[in-house]
Amino acid sequence: MAELSALPPVDKWQILDALTAAAEEFELNHRTLSVLRALISFLPQRDIHPERNSTIVFPSNRSLSERLHGMPESTLRRHLARLVDLGIVSRHDSANRKRFSRRGSAMAYGFDLSPLAVHARHICELANTAAAEALHRQNLRDEINSLRRDLLEHGLTVQDELLLNCQRHLRRKLAVATLQELRDQLAQKLETVSQPVTTSPKMSSTDKQNERHIQTEIKSYFDSEENENDEEIPHRSPPEPALIEILESCREYKNYFPEQPRSWSDLYAMVSRLVPMIGIETPVYLQAQRMMGSETAASTILCMLERLHLIRNPGGYLRRLSQRAADGRFSLEPMLHALRKGPELSADNSLKMTRAPAM
């Protein structure tokens, strides 16, 4: 007990962010983390103390289910058991296993959050390691994509065996060693095919056709975001959205965070906690920030949250939007317009909703 008393308390949201970053090391999925977030939200103070049974929350399963937007109690119990098995929280049960606090007494029965403070140092170390590895992995992916573009500019086609293999691999989450091997193969190929470029004074119509940019059709979950002729969109950066405009168009976030952000920094902090809750990996969101800019990326997450029930794979959808932004073919305004407009009436006066294609 003396050793535990010597440990400092931790901020409940900061340790949750660190645990989210290290989720893969603990084999935690986003739903289990959502249950932990709901438990922490019942703690009135911000600090979690390391002394055993010092930080106990005692919500009923019904209260937890309501805060988790109707999660079935059988599913809730499974995720609670997972948190206990991992030692992230511990049970402090009463004789009848009810959760309650006695009035006028410090005695309470429920879930003890003190293990989060006890293991805070270990959790933060794993989170820092995971963040560094994710950044290294993303840098390797960026190098690979750059090498692919260089190879295409040197005359290789998208049907080249190495480029096809590269495209198949990049759809999955790869180990650092695999990414390094793939990068080295592309670099060696580029060194082989690199030759001085000779230009002809006259070009045939066939050459002109070969120069056209090959695109993959991206179906959007927002009606007004689609363009009939997507090949001729000029490359330009749209103006950043105003914060008040984002918050007026997107209100679903209040089910997770009732307090409205007062600044962009507040919004960044809120979205960073929201991203893993809706099934988006942190590296995917970091890539979106690089491609779109921090303000547009955070605003895009709020827009996606409005129609999350239509999006089968939020992470894959955000990756596609990031690629559109990298190509200069993404604007947030059509998404906001679609949200403000809401469902449209079709010719037979029935509601027309955007259907989500399989990702």
Spatial contact of 275 and 307, defined as CB atoms under 8 Å apart: no
Indicate the pLDDT class of residue 251, thresholds 50, 70 and 90: confident
| More confidently predicted of 47 and 168 | 47
CA–CA dist 306, 9 (Å, integer): 36
Spatial contact of 47 and 12, defined as CB atoms under 8 Å apart: yes
Tell if the pTM clears 0.85, that is, is over it: no
Kindly state the average pLDDT of the residues 11-32: 88
Kindly state the average pLDDT of the residues 300-315: 88
Helix 12-21 to helix 264-277 angle (10° resolution) is: 50
- Written in H, E and C, the secondary structure of 341-354 is HCCEECCCCCEECC
Lowest mean pLDDT among 38-47, 147-156, 250-259: 147-156
Task: Indicate if the pLDDT at residue 72 is higher than 80.
Answer: yes
| Residue 97, Cβ density class (10 Å: 0-12 exposed, 13-18 middle, ≥19 buried) | exposed
Question: What is the residue type of 69?
Answer: H
Indicate the pLDDT class of residue 241, thresholds 50, 70 and 90: low
> What was the pLDDT predicted at 300?
92
Indicate the pLDDT class of residue 258, thresholds 50, 70 and 90: confident
CA–CA dist 297, 290 (Å, integer): 9
User: Which tens digit of pLDDT belongs to each residue from 133-152?
Assistant: 888 888 888 888 888 777 77
> What was the pLDDT predicted at 355?
43
Of 96, 8, 104, residue with least CA distance to 47: 8
Of 123, 119, 121, 101, residue with least CA distance to 110: 101
Kindly state the average pLDDT of the residues 188-193: 78
Question: Following CA atoms 16, 22, 25, 26 in sequence, which dihedral angle do they give, to the nearest 10 degrees?
Answer: 10
CA–CA dist 249, 268 (Å, integer): 17
- Give the angle 306-226-359 at the CA atoms, nearest 5°: 65
CB environment 226-250: b (16+ within 10 A), e (fewer): eeeeeeeeeeeeeeebebeebbebb
Lowest mean pLDDT among 15-24, 133-142, 267-276: 133-142
Distances (CA, A) of 246 to 74, 241, 249, 298: 36, 7, 5, 10
Task: Indicate if the pLDDT at residue 70 is higher than 70.
Answer: yes
CA–CA dist 335, 354 (Å, integer): 12
Task: Indicate if the pLDDT at residue 200 is higher than 60.
Answer: no
Spatial contact of 140 and 183, defined as CB atoms under 8 Å apart: yes
Task: Indicate if the pLDDT at residue 95 is higher than 70.
Answer: no
> What was the pLDDT predicted at 301?
92
Mention every residue, 6+ apart, whose C-beta is less than 8 A from residue 290. none
> What was the pLDDT predicted at 189?
77
User: Which tens digit of pLDDT belongs to each residue from 152-188?
Assistant: 777 766 667 777 777 777 777 777 788 888 888 888 8
Place of tokens 């209040």: 254
N residues, the chain: 359
Mean pLDDT of the chain: 76
* Dihedral (CA of 40, 17, 26, 33) sign: positive
